[in-house]
Amino acid sequence: MIRLTVPSIEADDLEAVRHVVASGQLVQGPHVGRFESAIADVVGSKHAVVVTNCTAALQMALLAVGVGPGDTVVIGAYSWPTTANVVELCGAVPVFVDVDPESFNMRVDALEETLQRLHASPHAGRRVKAIIPIHVFGQIADMRGILAVAERFGIPVIEDAACALGASAEQRQAGSWGVMGCFSFHPRKAVTTGEGGAIVTNDETHARYLRALRNHGQDPVADQPDPFMFPGFNNRMTEFQAALGVSQMAKLGRIIAARRALAQRYDELLPSWLSRQGVPADDPRHVFQSYVVLLPTEVAPRRAAMISELRTAGIETQIGTWHMPLITYYRSRYGYQRGAFPVCDDIASRALTLPLYEGMTADDQRAVVEAVSAQVAHVAGR
What digits encode the pLDDT tens for the residues 57-90? 999 999 999 999 999 999 999 999 999 999 999 9
Nearest to 320 by CA among 150, 161, 103, 158: 103
Residue 5 falls inside a structural domain = no
Residue 1 falls inside a structural domain = no
pLDDT at 224: 77
User: Which residue segment(s) compose the domain that 112 sits in?
Assistant: 11-249
**304 and 347 share one domain:** yes
**199 and 70 share one domain:** yes
Distance CA(269)–CA(368), nearest Å, equals 10
Which of 215, 249, 283 is the last residue in one of the domains? 249
Taking only the tens place, the pLDDT of each residue in 219-264 is 998 877 789 999 999 999 999 999 999 999 999 999 999 999 999 9
Return phi, psi of residue 8, to 5°.
Answer: -85, 70
**344 and 289 share one domain:** yes
Residue 3 falls inside a structural domain = no
Average pLDDT, the chain: 96
Which of 249, 271, 291 is the last residue in one of the domains? 249
**94 and 19 share one domain:** yes
Q: How much is the pTM?
A: 0.97
CA torsion through residues 95, 100, 101, 105, sign? negative
pLDDT at 378: 79
pLDDT at 183: 98
3-state secondary structure 221-281: CCCCCCCECCCCCECECEHHHHHHHHHHHCCHHHHHHHHHHHHHHHHHHCCCCCEECCCCC
**280 and 266 share one domain:** yes
**226 and 260 share one domain:** no
| Range with the poorest average pLDDT among 233-247, 274-288, 316-330, 349-363 | 274-288
Domain count, the chain: 2
Residue 176 falls inside a structural domain = yes
